[in-house]
Chains A and B, each alone.
Chain A
Amino acid sequence: MNTLITLLAMTIPAQGEKKVNYQDHVLPVLQAKCANCHSTDKKRGGLVVTNYTKLMEGGSSGVVVKPGDPSNSSLFNTVAHKVEPFMPPKSPKIADAEIAIIEGWISAGAPETSGSKVMAVAKKEIGLKSVVRGRPEGPPPMPSKPLPQEPVTKTRRANPVTAIASNPWSPLVAVGGLKQVLLYHADTQELLGMLPFPEGLPTVLKFSRNGGLLLVAGGRGSATGKVALFNVQTGERITTVGEETDTVLAADISPDQSLIALGGPSKMLRVYNTADGKLVYEVKKHTDWITALEFSPDGVLLATGDRSSGMYVWESFNGREYFTLRGHGGAITELSWRQDSNILLSGSEDGTVRQWEMENGGQVRSWAAHGGGVLGARYGMDGRIVSAGRDRTVKLWDGNGGAVRSFEALPDLALRATLTHDGTRVLGTDWTGQVVEWTAIDGKRLGVLAANPGSLADRLALAAKELEKKQAALAPLLVQARQADDVMKQTSAAINEVVALQKTMPPQIELLKAGQAKAKAAKDALQSSKTGLEMDAKGREVVLLELRGMLTRLKDLAQKAPADKALPLAATRAQALVVLIEQEAAPVATKLKELEPSLARETKAQTDAEGQLAALTVQLAALPKRLVDMQAAQKTATDRVKATQVLAQQAQVDFDVAKAIVDRLKARQATVSTQPAKAAGS
């Protein structure tokens, strides 16, 4: 037996290259198998095994570890099923290897650490001296060093997203995934990188008040609970605190970054010092699981809430009770302080969101926010509020609880919501694992952040595909825009023509009018001479007729009265007169004849001019309408040009964004491939 023990004692440390000790070897075993009953929370049988000092003190039935003598140590005997009660109860014996560890450890004298003395906890530099309250100096806190790009886990689907936080001073959004935290850029929905959280599922994410640190809390249900702090700029893990035996359900870091508070199914509020990870105080007051907690922005108070509607406010630095806040009728799901630290906001499964003042701890306002229960309620930096609930919606409220907007319903329960640093965007998460981003101003959906992203290569392939798609979309749009432009140009030319016509036509008309007048005058003159001639001819004919009649009558008379000599004379004179007149008439007729063609010419000229004039006038009258029509057409064409240009520009932007993403991813790939891969779970 002794040789066996020696053998074991020799073999076991070899694994860890350390002497078998409590901290490195035994505690993990006890934590996993015994802590449900023998933790500082339950102390079944007065025994605590998760703390070296307490374990060595033993339980109510005495010492359980006798250094160097496993067969007389009931810790060993009960787990090895050598002595009743067999431990753990109602479960099969723990693995032989684990029993061997315990045995070996006791045989070796039960040292606490490999150095067999209290391990000095290294002080962590978390910038306590240089903590700036409020807006930090310098550029907005964003990751500046390359972050890990490969997801720690890639699973069949995403878990319900219960952890999300947006940086108070930069467009940085942290989303909880399985064993990792995903950092996104709120403006581009671009995945910046991952922070590994091998402890399990992050249940809480909180940025420090100055945005420089990210707190990640969570763990493995019924096994371990931890809170980790990461530097936002470098992505490095600064410290890890907590020794919970179940996952952490609520945690926060104080604004001066000196304290970390946490709570969970143990119902205990525990506050740790960030500098050395030591417990500062713990409060046993909650009667159910602690589900929400937050430090006030001024750092003075700490609010906590539990699963059965219990709510307290404590003095941050010593854990003294400050207020008990009574009112909610269901589990408290989230607590959030207004920036001035005067108002505390609480969301509860009772369906209401409430505001509490810190003068007397009274309820200021309460409103029914989500039927079935509120699952998340947070202040933005601007004092507006976002909430999420079992009615599947995310809602935006003003500081007084006035409804501003209800965003499109999500596919399943809406779990959490947050406003980005500048209050322009709202993010909401749901049970199916979706994280949706909207604009705050009009509720437009901006995109979806994957809570379960693929590997860098996958993402790059996806982005490249996206880029291709964008390019495919862009090309026809550009053609369209060009065509539209051509149409518009044509229209413009036509309009110019008309405008020119409008200018050239009136003088033409004037000219025509003058021509016409001239022709008319000529015609008139001809006409009048013609008329004169005709009248002359007519007069002659009348005289001639008279004369001929007279002549006839004279002849008659002469016949009858041959005697009368005067008569023939008169007849002769008359005859002569007739001849004379007839002689005179001949040139007039000629003249008349000569006159006819020119008259006809002038008449035609006038008619032609008139016709031309009429046509031109009509044309001129029609021009304004034509112009209006053409101007309308021109507007349409212009609009179309604009529209197609906008589309094309958008597509161009999309394309550029996609291209940028691809480029960045390629760049990342290049960096990653040149850099030796960092251990993901370090």
Chain B
Amino acid sequence: MLNRSMPAWVLLLAIASGAWAQTPAPAKVTAPVPPAVPPAKVAVPPPAVAVPVSTVQRQLVKLEILPPQVNLATRQSRQVVSVQATYADGITEDVTEKSRPRLSNAALARWEKNTLLPVSDGACELVAEFGGRAVMVPVQVTQAAEDRPISFRLDVMPIFMRAGCNQGGCHGAARGRDGFRLSLFGFDAEGDHYRLTREFNGRRLNMASPADSLLLEKSAAKVAHTGGARIVENDLYWNSFVRWLDADAPNDAATIATCVGVDIFPKNAVLNGKGAGQQMVIKARYSDGSDRDVTHLALFLSSNETSAKIAPDGQVTAGERGEAFVMARFSTFTVGSPIVVLPRDYQFVWNNPAETNYIDKLVDAKLQKLRITPSGICSDEVFLRRAFLDIVGTMPEAEDYKKFMTSVSPKKREELVDELISRKEFVELWVLKWAELLQIRSSNQMSYKATLLYYNWLQDRIARNVPVNEWVAELLGASGGTFKNPPTNYYQNETDILKVTENVAQVFMGMRIQCAQCHNHPFDRWTMDDYYSFAAFFSQIGRKGADDPRELVVFNSGGGDVRHPVNNKVMQPKFLGGVAPDTAGKDRRQMMAQWLASPENPYFATNMSNIVWAHFMGVGIIHEVDDVRVSNPPSNRELLDELGKKFTDYKYDFKKLVRDICNSQTYQRATTTNASNELDGRNFSHASIRRIKAETFLDCITQVTTTRNKFPGLPLGARAVQIADGTVSNYFLTTFGRATRETVCACEVRLEPTLSQSLHLLNGETTGNRIKQGDLVGKRLTEKKTPPEILEEIYIRCLARKPTDLERQKIMALVDVETDKKKALEDAFWAVLNSREYMFNH
């Protein structure tokens, strides 16, 4: 810090509060300087559609009874009924009470609050009337007087999840709690039955007097229970326990129906103001074709309690404005519905922004639903810098700036995108991205030569724009020597069957299925069966040495199985979320590779699109990109699906996808926010401010200071993005979060700003020394450029804009008083490099 003259700090402040800093700044800026650039270029168009939202004017467009059909079979059945009204402006309302739903034959069932209970057999209609509309759904009552035989799996096990007994912090812990263990989220019903009935005989169940069972007394906190009261005496759960005990605590026959799917109603809701409610209805479908209302057995969760709180009975209550995903977990399924909460009778004017392509249409549709006005379009200067950084990972050169700014073509942004996509730096940037995900790094197992060959193979595929599905299939199905056929290195890098399985799922499908190794995934649909069936594809990888001791030959051994750890059964290969193919006599990996990178795999195209999207928008539609799960829904499902569809239609040519994204208005929005979108971080209503990735940042500093880098194994002047080996790094790259490629996690690339990063830029070798080494200022002075000209070049090189008048005036005032112009200008250069505007992509 001391090698800088005092004015340099003042300079830094001047720049820090410059044009860009009008967005919420990471730290308080002391000198308030008025914005040099107009806040937004957008002239808000006159309101085209003024949405009337006052209660009186709202127009009913749809009335719906949920669920769409009521089946009551046996005395134990029940059905929660909810009536949802949808208005023209998208607002929904739970009108269950107002619509007074009733049966056309009242003798068939009776009401208990909003729940229908069977009385006698027959069929009739359930009718609801509201706002001048009537709607009806069929009701079928069968075996109303008969008891359904109690089942441990269907009736008792769900209670443990609903009441929270088998969660990880309680009895679901690996060693149980207070001496009693249940399987985590009920993945092992057989074991749970054993532990309840026969592990500790005479304690947990009182077969003589069921209601005195410790199971019940503890659950209802009639005796001391660390977990407190989870059920209430004589409630539904209590009675199910008693019924099971009265039947002598039977286990189920092997033929017992299993839950094959769960439906949640309504599919979405837009709630009007704090306090508005919505009853959720959950139905489970079973393998025997029956269905049941399990609203009382499902476990409800909300992704955003502040906006939409959900009670244990499935009643959603709106809170603050926002979006929430309310979920219900039952059996091994998690289902959810998006809930939007708006301020009551919110007055909103949609400004009808321009739309370039399908992306804008879908993003705007969502924004409109959320009543968010998007930010305007960014300036050409901002776009230029953003496009360069995102597409090719460099700063625009002065010539690029000039060319673009002087262009009069109405399609100049589109042209720029096309030009950048065809540059070789574009390829390098994506090779880097993939090298991170494929963990290309030398290690004790993997020689440097293999690493290099692997990297070159990847680079070749991307440079030739080989469709993603083709090279992914080639990679995962690869056999042969790691030198002769480099993609086989994928299987040298990681030799553990389960790790390979998890990596493939995480990288190519965006799914973290690790949980399912030991228990059913608590927040997703994956069961242990799914996990081990998928792992079975990787159970027949043969590996043997080659002539060169550094080389390994990967081949299909044709033998080997994966066993389920609970029941020790051999698992047949089954695609994750797909079918079980006949793999007899075939290379399992090749089958898997073909399926994985094909439209049959519902996750591949969307996941790839999401990765690309996240690169350009700073945040994925699903965030994190490798955390796809039911309980982490996409912020805009329609958009994600459309991107996936387009990607498939484009034959997996991702350059086309990049073009679509970069040409969209969504991508080109300003970072400046307005009152309605300042809190939005997931719906792309404004551009996000992003730290630049370590490699790109180093390249940019190198570029603007006209210096050169030397990395091991690469020629002098090579760029950091070209480093093939993940183990190669330097202090700068490590500080700025270069991925070590030790895992496939998207979190390997660290983008959080840290103190050591700031200090390194302020005091470290990278800025000061490079300014001296590159001697840009010196050269320009020799070229007899005036200080204001030099300052302008520095600004253009670093920030892709000219200094504002105020900046120019302030800086020149400091430069003018300095006799050593070179030193003064270099100080200004240093200050620019340390400005947040430079450090961030915005």
Contact = CB atoms under 8 A, between A and B. Distances in A.
A156 B246 contact: yes
Interface stretch (A85-93, A118-126, A400-408): A85-93
A105 B217 CA distance: 28
A418 to B, nearest CB: 16
B214 interface: yes
A173 interface: no
Contact of B224 (A33, A177, A288, A289): A33
B181 to A, nearest CB: 12
A156 B218 CA distance: 22
A162 interface: yes
Interface string A411-428: 001010000000000000
Interface string B440-472: 000000000000000000000000000000000
B228 A375 contact: no
A36 B208 contact: no
Given A32-B224, A91-B221, A413 B207 contact: no
B740 interface: no
A158 B208 contact: yes
B203 interface: yes
A222 B225 contact: yes
B208 A452 contact: yes
Interface in A154-177: 155-160, 162, 177
B667 to A, nearest CB: 49
A221 B203 contact: yes
B210 to A, nearest CB: 8
Contacts of B202: 159-160, 162, 201, 203, 415
Contacts of B415: none
A84 to B, nearest CB: 16
A223 B227 contact: no
A489 B204 CA distance: 67
Given A90-B228, A91-B228, A223-B224, A153 B218 contact: no
Given A159-B207, A222-B218, A375-B201, A32 B223 contact: yes
B242 to A, nearest CB: 11
B208 A222 contact: no
Contacts of A32: 223-224
A289 B179 CA distance: 8
A295 interface: no
Given A158-B207, A265-B179, A223 B201 contact: no
A413 B194 CA distance: 12
Given A159-B206, A201-B206, A307 B228 contact: no
B226 interface: yes
A332 interface: no
A39 B224 CA distance: 11
Range, interface on chain A: 35 or more
Nearest to A176: B202
Contacts of B221: 88, 91-92
Interface in B238-280: 246, 248
A487 interface: no
B207 A36 contact: no
Given A35-B224, A222-B225, A178 B214 contact: no
Interface string B93-110: 000000000000000000
Contacts of A36: 223-226
A37 B217 CA distance: 17
B229 interface: yes
A88 B202 CA distance: 27
A316 interface: no
Contacts of B225: 36, 91, 222
| Interface of A, helix, strand, loop or mixed by DSSP | loop
A220 interface: yes
Contacts of B179: 265, 288-289, 307
A433 interface: yes
Contacts of B228: 88-91
Most buried by B among A201, A289, A390, A433: A201
B226 A92 contact: no
A33 B217 CA distance: 12
B201 A413 contact: yes
A74 interface: no
B214 A222 contact: yes
Which of A92, A153, A160, A375 counts the most chain B CB atoms within 10 A?
A160
Contact of A156 (B208, B212, B217): B208
Contacts of A415: 201-202
Contacts of B248: 157
Nearest to B202: A162
Nearest to A452: B208
A92 B246 CA distance: 28
A413 B208 contact: no
A220 B224 CA distance: 11
Contact of B208 (A157, A265, A307): A157
Contacts of B204: 221
A220 B223 contact: yes
B229 A91 contact: yes
A178 B201 contact: no
Contacts of A37: 224, 226
A516 interface: no
A247 B203 contact: yes
A499 to B, nearest CB: 69
A90 B229 contact: yes
Contacts of A288: 179
Interface in B184-238: 198, 201-204, 206-209, 212, 214, 217-218, 221, 223-229
Interface string A291-309: 0000000000000000100
Nearest to A163: B202
A576 B203 CA distance: 148
A247 B202 CA distance: 11
A157 B249 CA distance: 12
Interface string A218-233: 0011110000000000
Contacts of A203: 202
Nearest to B230: A90
Nearest to B208: A155
Contacts of A156: 208, 246
A433 B207 contact: yes
Given A90-B229, A221-B218, A157 B207 contact: yes
A160 B229 contact: no
A320 B221 CA distance: 38
A431 interface: yes
A280 to B, nearest CB: 26
Nearest to A291: B200
Nearest to B198: A413
Contacts of B246: 156
Given A37-B224, A89-B228, A220-B223, A159 B203 contact: no
A156 B221 CA distance: 25
A578 B484 CA distance: 163
A452 B208 CA distance: 9
Interface in B573-609: none
A201 B217 CA distance: 14
A162 B201 contact: yes
Interface string A429-473: 001010000000000000000001000000000000000000000
Nearest to B214: A221
Given A156-B246, A247-B203, A415-B201, A221 B223 contact: yes
B199 to A, nearest CB: 9
A51 interface: no
8 contacts: A91-B221, A92-B229, A157-B248, A158-B208, A160-B207, A201-B206, A221-B203, A222-B225
Interface of A: 32-37, 88-92, 153, 155-160, 162, 177-178, 201, 203, 220-223, 245, 247, 265, 288-289, 307, 375, 390, 413, 415, 431, 433, 452
Given A221-B217, A223-B224, 10 more contacts: A88-B228, A155-B209, A158-B208, A201-B202, A220-B217, A221-B218, A222-B224, A289-B179, A413-B198, A433-B208
Identify the 6 closest CB pairs spanning chains A and B, nearest first: A36-B224, A90-B228, A221-B214, A155-B208, A162-B202, A222-B223
